Amino acid sequence: MEKTFNCPECGSDSTQKAKVLYESGTSTSTSTMAGIGVGTGGKFGVGVGAGSGSSQSELAKRLSPPAKPGSIAPGVIWIIGGIIIFGMAIQFFPARAVGAGVFFILVALGFGMLGYRGIKKENDKRASYKDEYAKWERLWYCVRCGHTFYIQ
């Protein structure tokens, strides 16, 4: 069993770890509904709707963990694309098509830059995600007054 902590706001010991609340909240909060409606003119309508449980999913949203970092794969694909274009571009020079060669080298550099920036962004996100996730694991919620707080 996990230790409980008193709420710093109201002193209540009815506190819960955000992670536990979030995980129990998300498993029950979404439901899918399907319906068939028949109109007076004999027309059919089919509808599917995703609804979510009111208070619990709101709470789960509030106590949700930090967003997961994305993949670096798109960045890698940009860089591979840049290398392929570069390989094509240098073939313009022996053919004395210097203008086209320079143009495609610039395009290749652009691809490389996009790829580099994409990978760097995800890496930075990955680094801060670890910290934010660790912080989230210390987030607690007071059932009595709704206050959220971090434990040490």
* Contacts to Zn ion by CB under 5 A: 7, 9-10, 12, 142, 144-145, 147
For Zn ion, the closer of residues 121 and 138 by Cβ is 138
Between 70 and 146, CB nearer to Zn ion: 146
Please, where are the H alpha helices in 14-140? 18-29, 54-62, 73-89, 98-136
Sign of the Cα pseudo-torsion (87, 92, 94, 98, in order): negative
| Those residues with Cβ within 8 angstroms of residue 123's Cβ, 6 or more apart along the chain or in another chain | 72
- Nearest distance in Å: CB 17, Zn ion: 14
Region of 30 (left: φ > 0; alpha: ψ -120 to 50; beta: rest) is beta
Give the shortest CB-141-to-Zn ion separation in angstroms: 9
C-alpha–C-alpha distance, residues 56 and 62, integer Å: 10
Nearer to Zn ion, 125 or 138 (CB): 138
Rounded to a whole number of angstroms, the minimum distance from the CB of residue 3 to Zn ion is 17
Smallest gap from Cβ 20 to Zn ion, in A, equals: 17
Residue closer to Zn ion (CB basis): 105 or 142: 142
Vertex 118 angle, CA 112 and 119, to 5°: 90
